[in-house]
Structure 1
Amino acid sequence: MSASSGTTPHGMMKGTAMAMKVACDGHRDGSQTMGHRPVAKLGSAEAPHVAAQRSFGRLFDHQADQPDPDAISELAARMVEGPDDAVDGPADAGTAFFGQFIDHDLTLDATTQLGEAARRVEEIENFRTPRFDLDSVYGSGPEVDPWLYGQQDEGRGLAFGRGWAAGTQGNPLDLQRNCNDRALIGDPRNDENLFISQIHGRQFVAEHNRLLGEASGTVEHRYEVAREGLTHAYQRRILHEFLPAVVDQSVLDPLVQGAMDGNLPGPISWDCAPDMPVEFAAAAFRFGHSMIRQTYALNDAHEEEDIFSPVNAGFSPVARAHNLDMARFFGPQAQRSRPINTKIAADLISLPTNIVGRMPGLSEAEDAKARNLADRNMQRGQHTFHLPTGETVAQAMGVDVLDPHPDVADLGLTGMTPLWFYILWEAENTGGRLGAVGGMLVAGTILNLMLRDKMSILHTEEAARAVA
């Protein structure tokens, strides 16, 4: 590792001072103070507590000088996982897909285009509430989105599988679907692959219905009890299972303790941070792509299926024979995710047509770039959002800057490492979990969102027990 950015005469890291300045000083691009941000009441009448920012923001100033796009593409092409790279990491296999579920619950950018520079990020609307409120499951509630719910006595139950809601291809564990096989869910992206589809349906929709059946009182009261119970269980799962699985303990522990005390530690001044930083949404929280395996054991009958095999077509009914054995994805007997590092499963380096669509008119080289998920991530981060490079963020945060990855050095990108790649390289040097930069961006943003939600477990009577 190279030297850090040094200290001021008062002993404060210069990088820390820079990070706090960029977050709070009213800078045209880098600052997002809470005072001038538009705030909107979101959610249903049953959830009036949700007041969230409807746009993205920056923790650090945008960076005009960006790495060469062709060099980024070559770096992405070198990330393909080889036979010797396919090792088990510390997290359960389902962790990456649960992370995808979290992402879909927090963010939806439906306006920017890959390869085109974004306008000011404060003007880009986030179509999800940046709160852990499960609006991706509940939509805006039964009055606004009744198509997600049942009829009459079951009017507060979520439509799922069979029973009082019509079945789907004879599979009681599949999502409810319309006549075109589109899933009837709060966020359509949660049907884009078999894994997240089953997590959404079996761990959230079905669980809401179970909690609803156990509650007593009026149907409205039962709905509120079930929704609050599921939402708090979801938040505890993020806090106790997800974050420890993906963030190095030395980075996570001070942040969790700060959240318990109601004040997250620096170097980022979280009081001034936007709800949804683009550094999180467009780079740091995409770390899960490196955790994806090339093959998975779905259940006893399907012991080795490629990530994009025909049984995982996405946006289509799930056959009963393809239901996941959840014990193979979560818990002590689960298969493992890949460690967070700079290698990506081969099928993610060449995405199939059903994922990215057909792109006529492209040359062979252009088509290869367009289908490379790693390339898409880095081009989007650096050339759509003009994110600062990894070295810039590390210096701003006052942490040691990593020596360049060998491929970064070979391609002349030293000092200009795309932020997403830098975070993966940092995790590779931290035992397969997120390190100082990635861990601060991921865990800090998540805990900050919980602190800002007065109905989260950090503000309820059970908070001390839940987080201790």
Structure 2
Amino acid sequence: MKDLDQNLKATCCAPGHGATGFRDIVKLACDNQRTGTCNRAEPQEGTAEFVFGRMVDMMPLDQQPSKEGCEALAAVMLDDEASAEDGPADAGIAFLGQFIDHDITLDATTKLGEVAGAVTKIRNFRTPALDLDCVYGNGPEVNPWLYEPDNRLIFGRGPTERTGPDENPLDLQRNVNGRALIGDPRNDENLFVSQVHGRMFVMGHNNNMERLSDIADAEDRLHEARAELTWEYHDRILHQFLPAVIHEDVLTPMLAQAHNMHLEDIGRLSWANAPAMPVEFSAAAFRFGHSLIRETYKLNDNPDRAEVRIFAREADAVKLDGFAPVEKDNNLDMGLFFGPGAQKSRPIDTRLPAALLNLPDSVATSDKNLAARNMIRGHLTFKLPTGEKMAEWMEAPLIDTHDKVKDAGLEGRTPLWFYMLAEAEQHGGKLGPVGGGIVAGVLLNMLIRAHSPALRPYRGV
């Protein structure tokens, strides 16, 4: 298990498929960004551990959906709260997906609506591997404020001047300004991902440290505890997250392939040559989780507390703002978010709750429609292929043009993010061949490249 931990921490040196090294697997697109990495006959020299890449050819701006068209399409994506439906996934899956996203990708340099240029020159500030660096940072020697002297992660304890009877033992460690001291500050941007980070992963590590107390050396115990938590994390992705969001017809054969430590090509997509962090995934496919978000949630079994809104407004009694201490009364009952007694997420479809179509100032001071932001970012910043073009690349069945796309004047130029949501509408609220193929392919490829023990033995869906 210690070897697994070391392998996960050093993905730039990890072996990939066969005898090929990670530096050879992660091919780079050429600087003009026209050619994707999956269709190059010869790999381009370079490394891409901390940058982005392309899976397919970019589309020129004159072939992209317009900003006005994206905004018009986003404006008709409102879900009717009165008739909102439950989807197949547990409510917590949306926030587990947000945690996964924060573990593998962070673009802190591009600007919404401005052309990004060469994506292979854009820094990814997270390691493109499922290694929990968002929890562990760079270890106790580099980030000592995350750790107790015995290498447990600090949790549930604020600065001395705030410690008292009102301190929440299930909240993240915080500084005097109330900001969480964690490996990735984005995991405190809302109550739900904050509790997933702390309750599942920080507490998970500390529980492992307690159970491994017979290992005398604190550094060895840290390595073993991290390796076991990482394995549990991979297992959760394989057997909880992916089956909840991807249709079984898409996922089942890909899981079987991953068990054999190799993914077959999908159409013209070569997984052996795929970049570690494709912009098609980070800027479109893995943003499907916004469709899972409910307008309201029940937090716990407090009889005096009804469901609360995802983004509280001034008139709401319960405030769930992120980047602030969590009150004890707002601690999540995890059984209401995962498992047989859980609330359900929304189905993945072409609708979003009102809260995401009019973001509060604490989240965005301009361009407050999250759907529009997703599509503008994908197509005007990164020049992604349209949904129709991506389906062609993947040799997937082309879905009929959605009525909302027609009304927005975008026929033949469906934004990739919207296309995958529309595809999911036809697959029972789960991602179909295009969306599911990209999401499963990228995550499973990461597990294959890490030689994750979670892939063996294969247990099916």
Question: Hey, what's the Cα distance between the residues in 1 that align with 2:65 and 2:102?
Answer: 29
The aligned residue for residue 5 of structure 1 is: none
Say yes or no: does 1:208 pair with 2:205: yes
Amino acid at match of 1:144: V
Does the Cα contact within 8 Å between 2:158 and 2:174 map onto a contact in 1? no
Deviations along 1:341-400, one digit per CA (max 9) or x if unpaired, are: 00000010000111113x5xxxxxxxxxx1000000000001000000000000111112
Instruction: Rate the CA distance shift 1:149–1:467 in 2: closer, same or farther, 3 A.
Output: farther
Amino acid at match of 1:288: G
Structure 1 gap segments, 5+ residues each: 1-22, 40-51, 360-369
Give 1:83 shift: 3.6
The aligned residue for residue 406 of structure 1 is: 403
Question: Hey, what's the Cα distance between the residues in 1 that align with 2:271 and 2:163?
Answer: 46
Question: Hey, what's the Cα distance between the residues in 2 that align with 1:237 and 1:445?
Answer: 16
Does the Cα contact within 8 Å between 2:29 and 2:53 map onto a contact in 1? no
Aligned with 1:56 (options 48, 52, 55): 52
Question: Hey, what's the Cα distance between the residues in 1 that align with 2:363 and 2:197?
Answer: 19
Question: Hey, what's the Cα distance between the residues in 2 that align with 1:403 and 1:56?
Answer: 31
Which aligned pairs between 1:80-229 and structure 2 lie closer than 5 A?
Answer: 80-83=78-81, 85-151=83-149, 154=150, 156-162=151-157, 167=163, 169-215=166-212, 216-217=214-215, 218-229=217-228
Which aligned pairs between 1:29-428 and structure 2 lie closer than 5 A?
Answer: 29=33, 30-32=35-37, 35-36=43-44, 38-39=46-47, 53-64=49-60, 65-83=63-81, 85-151=83-149, 154=150, 156-162=151-157, 167=163, 169-215=166-212, 216-217=214-215, 218-267=217-266, 268-301=269-302, 302-309=305-312, 310-357=318-365, 359=366, 370-428=367-425
Give 1:414 shift: 1.0
Question: Hey, what's the Cα distance between the residues in 1 that align with 2:254 and 2:97?
Answer: 19
Does the Cα contact within 8 Å between 1:260 and 1:467 map onto a contact in 2? no
Give 1:162 shift: 3.7
Question: Hey, what's the Cα distance between the residues in 1 that align with 2:75 and 2:337?
Answer: 29
Comparing 105-114 with 209-218, which one deviates more in the overlay? 209-218
Question: Hey, what's the Cα distance between the residues in 1 that align with 2:103 and 2:328?
Answer: 27
SS in 1 for 2:79: coil
Question: Hey, what's the Cα distance between the residues in 1 that align with 2:73 and 2:307?
Answer: 29
Comparing 221-230 with 376-385, which one deviates more in the overlay? 221-230
Instruction: Rate the CA distance shift 1:351–1:135 in 2: closer, same or farther, 3 A.
Output: same
Give 1:407 shift: 1.2
Does the Cα contact within 8 Å between 1:451 and 1:458 map onto a contact in 2? no
Question: Hey, what's the Cα distance between the residues in 2 that align with 1:82 and 1:188?
Answer: 32
Question: Hey, what's the Cα distance between the residues in 2 that align with 1:379 and 1:141?
Answer: 37
CA RMSD of aligned residues (A): 2.1
Does the Cα contact within 8 Å between 2:116 and 2:382 map onto a contact in 1? yes
Does the Cα contact within 8 Å between 1:104 and 1:136 map onto a contact in 2? yes
Structure 2 gap segments, 5+ residues each: 1-25, 313-317
Does the Cα contact within 8 Å between 1:161 and 1:167 map onto a contact in 2? no
The aligned residue for residue 21 of structure 2 is: none
Does the Cα contact within 8 Å between 2:247 and 2:427 map onto a contact in 1? yes
Comparing 183-192 with 262-271, which one deviates more in the overlay? 262-271
Give 1:249 shift: 0.4
Amino acid at match of 1:92: D
Does the Cα contact within 8 Å between 2:28 and 2:45 map onto a contact in 1? no
Question: Hey, what's the Cα distance between the residues in 2 that align with 1:124 and 1:167?
Answer: 41
Question: Hey, what's the Cα distance between the residues in 1 that align with 2:132 and 2:293?
Answer: 24
Question: Hey, what's the Cα distance between the residues in 1 that align with 2:111 and 2:158?
Answer: 41
Deviations along 1:130-152, one digit per CA (max 9) or x if unpaired, are: 1111000000001111111113x
Deviations along 1:97-123, one digit per CA (max 9) or x if unpaired, are: 000000000000000000111011010
Aligned with 1:449 (options 430, 433, 446): 446
Question: Hey, what's the Cα distance between the residues in 2 that align with 1:449 and 1:85?
Answer: 38
Q: How many residues align?
A: 416
Amino acid at match of 1:77: A
SS in 2 for 1:53: coil
Question: Hey, what's the Cα distance between the residues in 2 that align with 1:126 and 1:164?
Answer: 31
Does the Cα contact within 8 Å between 1:59 and 1:277 map onto a contact in 2? yes
Aligned with 1:439 (options 436, 442, 452): 436
SS in 1 for 2:405: helix
Does the Cα contact within 8 Å between 2:105 and 2:128 map onto a contact in 1? yes
Give 1:464 shift: 1.8
Comparing 188-197 with 222-231, which one deviates more in the overlay? 222-231
Deviations along 1:9-50, one digit per CA (max 9) or x if unpaired, are: xxxxxxxxxxxxxx98976523337954644xxxxxxxxxxx
Does the Cα contact within 8 Å between 1:236 and 1:466 map onto a contact in 2? no
The aligned residue for residue 429 of structure 1 is: 426
Question: Hey, what's the Cα distance between the residues in 2 that align with 1:212 and 1:83?
Answer: 44
Give 1:222 shift: 1.1
Give 1:85 shift: 4.7
Amino acid at match of 2:195: Q
